[in-house]
Amino acid sequence: MLYAVAIVAAVAVLTPVLMVCLRLSWLAVHVLPEVGVEPKGDDPDYERRYRQFAELGFQPAGATRETCWFISPFDWYWRAHDFHRWMATPDGKALVVLYRMVAVEPVRFSIKSVFDGGAVVDTKCPGAGVGRDTDTYLRVEYKNLEPAELLAKHRENVEAFAQRRGRRIKSCTFAETAQAEIVHDHKLLKSMSLRFRSVPDALILVAAPTLLAFQFLPLGGSAMHRGAIAVVIGATVFAAVRLFYLPKVIAQNALKAHAPAAATPPPPAAIGGGP
């Protein structure tokens, strides 16, 4: 029984690490017709942003939620904390998503436009520190902009992208835009160095308590018996950190994204450069 528990614990901890190293992650977006977009009066910050975008001509469109298998070496299955609530201009050429990454942060907003060939321009406030500028995807992040300011930046980005890439903007529904964006998000996820830099952290987090328990705790029995107990102890420490410590770190990092910028944000993905 002990050996079976040790094997299950090792598989539970090491599988996400292995899948991240193999770049095997599955990101998906789910359209949620039952979720409303209009404010319900219980979230003043969301209602404020909703009203601001409504004044700019955006109309409620629908809601989605993202999920991912093996988004990090610490997670088997991840589901976005919040629904992504979409609003769209009447012509469907600009759509905004209102959402939160963690419950304690202010509302984030991201304006998106789709071009022919599935290309996407995404203008965020704030972002995750991940800019992108390719032939089919332009992602630009800003801090501390109001909706009207972000919309003006987005229009500049759209115009520059269309001129540089020779692409034409399309009219899309929110579901079509979400599906177009998820393709680029999946590529971005696989290329994010932060995911791979955290692999050693995950391994150390489980290996250190396992080795310490094996070497110094009076576990008794054969070496295999002590090793099995040590693996269970290491996996338990790993799970405790994952469940109780990492969420606090994630929340702190999310709040930092809203802090005043130390320097002026870079221009839209080095317009004029790039591939």
pLDDT at 193: 62
Does 111 reside within a domain?
yes
Does 126 reside within a domain?
yes
Contact 267, 137 (CB under 8 A): no
Distance (Å, whole) CA 206 – CA 242? 11
Does 69 reside within a domain?
yes
Question: What pLDDT, in 10s, does the model give residues 107-151?
Answer: 999 999 999 999 999 999 998 888 899 999 999 999 999 999 999
User: Which range among 61-65, 106-110, 198-202 shows the weakest confidence by mean pLDDT?
Assistant: 198-202
Distance (Å, whole) CA 157 – CA 109? 16
Average pLDDT of span 166-186: 96
Write the CB contacts of 96 (distance below 8 Å, at least 6 apart in sequence): 53, 58, 86, 87, 88, 109, 110, 111, 112, 147
Domain tally, the chain: 1
β-strands 137-141, 120-125 pairing: parallel
Distance (Å, whole) CA 131 – CA 140? 6
Does 138 reside within a domain?
yes
pLDDT at 240: 96
pLDDT at 220: 80
Scan for tokens 């321009």, then name that residue: 121
Does 227 reside within a domain?
no
